[in-house]
Amino acid sequence: MNKKILVTGGAGFIGSNLTAALIADKRVEKVRVIDNLSTGFYKNIKEFELSPKFEFIEGDIRDFETCRKVVSGIDLISHQAALGSVPRSIKDPITSNAVNVEGTLNLMVAATENKVTRFVFAASSSTYGDSQGLPKVEHIIGNPLSPYAVTKLVNELYASVFQRVYGLEYIGLRYFNVFGPKQDPNGAYAAVIPLFFKAAIEKKAPVINGDGLNSRDFTYVDNAVEANLKALFSENPVAINQVYNVACGDRTNLNELWDMISGITTAGIKAQHGPDREGDITHSLADISKARNLLGYTAAIKIKEGLEKAFIWYKKQNL
């Protein structure tokens, strides 16, 4: 198919895993990555330097002219660039909005100018907000509980408007707690699974927010990559201009999660408990039937297998 694809945030966790899959895909002629390296790392994509398919541009999606430059000549966009973390957005909502909303808008405008075929973007399960129903189904959301959740909801609204007004095809992928290789365990806003692996490897007790009964639909990164590939290349007209849950359809609470990681790593350490985290959703579980039926999404790797694969990678790292 000789597709030229832009991956924004391609030096980040999910973006770099997706970039690897796209370079290996015979349908793809070129993979252009843009990243400002604020939360991503060049080491995540260094292995692709020798591939004739690969191009890296260091730049910031908050700059519109940069977006115009990187979108030029592109057929498909997979927009992974974002400033993640609920706590970070509560501490600094202005920067989260600038990256997640203004940056996404810049890309959508550049995409319409350059007649990009399809705009696939990383949405978020945080969009469900205070909706109490389980499992989460795409058409029922609540009120956002954090500035981060607001930015991700706004992305979905903009995508819908750009489709109606400018004809830009889109697919939004609501990720549920993605984890796996290349997810950074360091920094103030690291996610729970890399933090738990770091604690286990260093034989230190992790701190669990609250009583540990909060549950999540933890999703191995290969499942997120699968969803992106299905979204980019889907030829099912009914699947286009939709938002999908990307998860496993199962949930694990934080106490169970630590028990699993402690067992896999043979850490044998009891966790400590701290205060609840502001802006957190209590329980999260996805209905993935829509993605399965319309995109052919399989969510093949479940949490235990995913944790075992992640541990192999973390063991090799100098944490």
pLDDT one-digit tens code per residue, 256-265: 999 999 999 9
Does the pLDDT at position 154 exceed 80?
yes
Q: Taking all residues of the chain, what is their mean pLDDT, rounded to a whole number? A: 95
- Confirm whether 148 is a catalytic residue: yes
Strands 215-216 and 76-79, by their bridges, are unpaired
Give the confidence band of 317 by pLDDT, cuts at 50, 70, 90: confident
Whether the predicted pLDDT of 277 surpasses 90: no
pLDDT greater at residue 109 or residue 1: 109
241 contact partners, CB below 8 Å, separation of at least 6: 160, 163, 169, 170, 171
Tell me how far apart the alpha carbons of residues 140 and 52 are, in angstroms, rounded to a whole number: 44
Residue pair 286/217 in contact by the 8 Å Cβ criterion = yes
Quick check: 279 pLDDT over 80?
Answer: no
pLDDT of residue 68: 98
For residue 73, count CB atoms less than 10 angstroms from its CB and return exposed for 0-12, middle for 13-18, buried for 19 or more: exposed
Tell me the pLDDT tens digit for each residue of 38-68: 999 999 999 999 999 999 999 999 999 999 9
Average pLDDT over residues 137-164: 97
- The pLDDT assigned to 189 comes to 74
For residues 250 and 302, the answer to whether their CB atoms sit within 8 Å is yes
Dihedrals phi, psi of 161, to nearest 5 degrees: -65, -40
Q: Provide mean pLDDT across the span 151-159.
A: 98
Place of tokens 């350490």: 269
Catalytic position from the list 128, 148, 175, 220: 148
The model's confidence at residue 4, banded by pLDDT at 50, 70 and 90, is very high
With a cut of 70, say whether residue 8 has pLDDT above it. yes
Which is it for the CA torsion 60, 15, 108, 97, positive or negative? negative
State mean pLDDT over 83-104. 95
Of all residues in the chain, the percent with pLDDT exceeding 70 is: 99
pLDDT of residue 319: 59
Q: Assign 187 to helix, strand or coil.
A: coil
pLDDT at 72: 98
Give the global pTM: 0.94
pLDDT at 169: 98
Per DSSP, helices labelled H in the chain are 13-24, 64-71, 86-91, 93-97, 103-113, 147-166, 192-201, 221-233, 254-265, 289-295, 303-315
pLDDT over 90 percentage in the chain: 90
> What is the secondary structure of 197-229 as a DSSP string?
HHHHHTT---EEETTS--EE--EEHHHHHHHHH
- Rounded to an integer, the average pLDDT of 225-245 is 98
pLDDT digits (tens, 9 = 90+) for 123-135: 999 999 999 899 9
First-residue to last-residue Cα distance in the chain: 40
Read off the pLDDT of residues 161-200 as tens digits, 9 standing for 90 and up.
999 999 999 999 999 999 999 999 987 778 899 999 999 9
**Cβ-based burial of 241 (10 A; exposed 0-12, middle 13-18, buried ≥19):** middle
